[in-house]
Structure 1
Amino acid sequence: MEPITLTLLASDPTGCAGGKCPTLYRGSDGHIYVQGFVVEDALKASVSVPNGEELVRIPEALINAVRNS
């Protein structure tokens, strides 16, 4: 099996510090990968997040940047 490679789609256009930005990537396997901030347990408790998944937070501006590219 080939290793998956990631290609940058967009980073948070509102700015970030030291490369620690919410970011979207396209994987060579056809999936979209999201780098974001893990949300607090109290917020996660308000939705059903199955084992093996994580709830992350990204700015809406990141989604708009992808739409406009």
Structure 2
Amino acid sequence: MLEEIRNFVAVVQAGSFTRAAEELNSARSVISKRLSQLERQLGVRLLNRTTRRLSLTEAGERFYQECSVSL
């Protein structure tokens, strides 16, 4: 779960899956799958995704604040 959290923080900080994948030297599809796994494990949606936009949900904002302090 720690790897999924790191990926989540990277996506939020980078502002996109593509940039986060580049920074983490990983495939965009891997980052996306890990984020989906994290959302399933937590039972909450963290990000609103569209083809042109990425934004945090309210739960995502709270989780990001907690994670960014811990990491």
Normalized against structure 2, the TM-score is what?
0.29
Higher relative strand content: 1
Largest Rg, 1 or 2: 1
Normalized against structure 1, the TM-score is what?
0.29
